[in-house]
Structure 1
């Protein structure tokens, strides 16, 4: 196999992210470009950087040119063809938010798999349709190119059943109301990196904090997920940019019965208007809040730290102790202030912060005398998807993995 291209696609409601990797004869992947089309349907804009982070192209488009995911795929495809016209497209790997209870591994997408993924739309109504729209658009444009689905839920299928139950009548569990967990591709990448970056804890009990606009934590034992803070949906757990995190169901009953909110109203409130944005009234961006002197901005930061620490305590109890902590994702990787606040509140675990190392961004940010080592490890979900995609293609193992 000469050098060919593996394309990774992550489609959302208003944006399309993509990454291009070169795969050589030794099945080694090298990043060639990362791109994003923002403002789909409103103010479309294409921006692409190369492997060094230098901007390759930056261009605005008319709304009529990019009304949906299909248009974005066509636009990105045209740019890719022009840029990599002498390097054949080997396969396309997709981030698919929900694999349900049945899909525990990446798999090649055929008509049967696509139909099964459509059945999961009610479990992720704001994400799954866009993921599937991208798959459909690629299939229409290049039907001969293999496509691979990589699931954000799959890594958590190693949970013991007790961690996936809700205390509801059993019929709901059997119909799919259960704890799924998300950000699985990120946690899988971190678990794969631990033997290289922090071998002393890779086989132990590790809590990984994926802190970004979407945020969650995961408890790893010997590199396997045993529990996580997101549950049935990406709304649960720690507060996020625009999502509330853990919420008493009684609040929802009150909003429906006393305030007259509809299902659509609740969906908008919980996915778009809550979290850091709702609390601060200013922004969902942690950088903006940290710079603000407004009391509610500071309160939102304190709330984020408080509930993240609370979840660390819960996962430590599930694991029966902690051998290491890892920070990753946008806030986790870049905000030394948030890391410091969280770790100061975790002093009861025996954590001792190395202030200088934390300011540098790690990789290890705990002192030598710390009872528990703490690391900052950048995540790379796109590379994880590319690896899965390439492995499936070269192995010829495209069969369904169903639990």
Structure 2
């Protein structure tokens, strides 16, 4: 991935490589900055998954996933090198002009995309305890590229940035005020996804999207965002990415007394409690089957404890979403639009159906056929609330931010 530095004009910025790094996977996408506006469709994208596990695999546009071997001593570094090699093979004489990183946590300091250097990297390492499933891995990729290709511009695009519009009453936690002064506050996450919704929804639904909207980002991680005027006014994730909705393996909101009990009475260490909260709870923990709703639903009719736990896990998952939507509707003073996005939100019709059935009191009525087809609008014509399905595009938002940063630097 040799870098030819830009000399003039957007067309000189080259390709933009977007990296979205998690604890066991790296997603990537490549965008062509020569076109204006920046195309929303990536030239190609892909993912290395199962990093650190027994059976990692790699897949990309036009190529079915295939098994790979990664250096067991440094699997993450090996996965990143594989992506760089695969991207390099497809450059066809073009160059990568910048790398855009999805960085989950920017704290209160970073509300805008920023070029990554050693000082910024040091700041962001301080937020690792607040997003341990993503932050350290994204920063590892940054660090490797800073060391190996120091002239390659790298831009940080923050999941917390979209929520800087939250009013203070939403940000502050009910702790002693000194905690607020030390930076303990609600930050909110999945901001790149919600930022894309703020672009895509008015394009598809017009002014209706600018009213009282709740977006449900339902994936392995999950949260809700209440938007008014396409800005974040409330969200379910808080100080860390553990808060709010029940997730694939994370608890979501939990009585802190339960955490104290695990430590004081059951004598779990801090590390053990962290593993329970982040990796062993949520859908996986309750069901004992999987972190994926589409897998669990296949066991609802099983006999005995397996079926009982499958039904309970899905019922709790839906209940927590419904309960939190109700809270956000109260904050908004009503609801004009409900939007589902991300892996579960976009593809699991039965989850959407159960949520909307429980929200019938708001005047929500689903079009069953449209929901089964994952249509852009799945509410019926007589529904008092528009219900939509909108695929997210976090990578395009990150690429757009990187391009804006490069343009600003060039204009100086």
TM-score by length of 2: 0.92
1:45 aligns with 2:56: yes
Q: Matched residues in 2 for 1:217 and 1:340: separation? A: 17
Distance 1:300 1:142, change over 3 A: same
| C-alpha displacement of 1:47 | 2.0
1:376 aligns with 2:384: no
Q: Matched residues in 2 for 1:17 and 1:237: separation? A: 25
1:250 aligns with 2:261: no
| C-alpha displacement of 1:202 | 2.3
Q: Matched residues in 2 for 1:357 and 1:228: separation? A: 28
CA contact (8 A) 1:9 1:19 kept: yes
Aligned pair partner of 2:227 in 220, 232, 237: 220
CA contact (8 A) 1:350 1:371 kept: yes
CA contact (8 A) 1:392 1:398 kept: no
| C-alpha displacement of 1:254 | 1.1
Q: Matched residues in 1 for 2:207 and 2:37: separation? A: 28
1:184-203 correspondence to structure 2 within 5 Å? 184-203=191-210
Q: Matched residues in 2 for 1:62 and 1:227: separation? A: 41
Aligned pair partner of 2:69 in 50, 58, 61: 61
1:275-286 correspondence to structure 2 within 5 Å? 275-286=282-293
Q: What is the DSSP-based 3-state SS (H/G/I as helix, E as strand, rest coil) of the residue aligned with 2:210?
A: coil
Other-structure match for 1:296: 309
CA contact (8 A) 1:42 1:63 kept: no
Aligned pair partner of 2:38 in 21, 24, 28: 28
TM-score by length of 1: 0.94
1:201-212 correspondence to structure 2 within 5 Å? 201-212=208-219
The Cα offsets for residues 239-262 of structure 1, whole Å up to 9 and x where unpaired, read as: 111011111111111111111111
| C-alpha displacement of 1:201 | 1.7
| C-alpha displacement of 1:44 | 6.0
Q: Matched residues in 2 for 1:57 and 1:348: separation? A: 44
Q: Matched residues in 2 for 1:90 and 1:306: separation? A: 46
RMSD between aligned alpha carbons? 1.8
Q: Matched residues in 2 for 1:335 and 1:44: separation? A: 26
1:132-211 correspondence to structure 2 within 5 Å? 132-211=139-218
Moved more, 190-199 or 12-21: 12-21
Q: Matched residues in 2 for 1:300 and 1:239: separation? A: 10
Distance 1:398 1:101, change over 3 A: farther
CA contact (8 A) 2:71 2:78 kept: no
Aligned pair partner of 2:366 in 349, 353, 376: 353
1:339 aligns with 2:352: yes
Q: What is the DSSP-based 3-state SS (H/G/I as helix, E as strand, rest coil) of the residue aligned with 1:125?
A: coil
Q: What is the DSSP-based 3-state SS (H/G/I as helix, E as strand, rest coil) of the residue aligned with 2:112?
A: coil
Distance 1:101 1:2, change over 3 A: closer
| C-alpha displacement of 1:205 | 0.9
Q: What is the DSSP-based 3-state SS (H/G/I as helix, E as strand, rest coil) of the residue aligned with 1:145?
A: coil
Unaligned 5+ runs, structure 2:
1-10, 302-306
Unaligned 5+ runs, structure 1:
none
Moved more, 374-383 or 11-20: 11-20
CA contact (8 A) 1:205 1:219 kept: yes
Q: What is the DSSP-based 3-state SS (H/G/I as helix, E as strand, rest coil) of the residue aligned with 1:186?
A: helix
Aligned pair partner of 2:109 in 86, 102, 105: 102
Distance 1:316 1:57, change over 3 A: closer
CA contact (8 A) 1:165 1:178 kept: yes
The Cα offsets for residues 79-123 of structure 1, whole Å up to 9 and x where unpaired, read as: 211221511111000011100011111111123222221222233
Q: Matched residues in 2 for 1:365 and 1:62: separation? A: 43
Moved more, 31-40 or 302-311: 31-40
Q: Matched residues in 1 for 2:403 and 2:77: separation? A: 24
| C-alpha displacement of 1:56 | 6.3
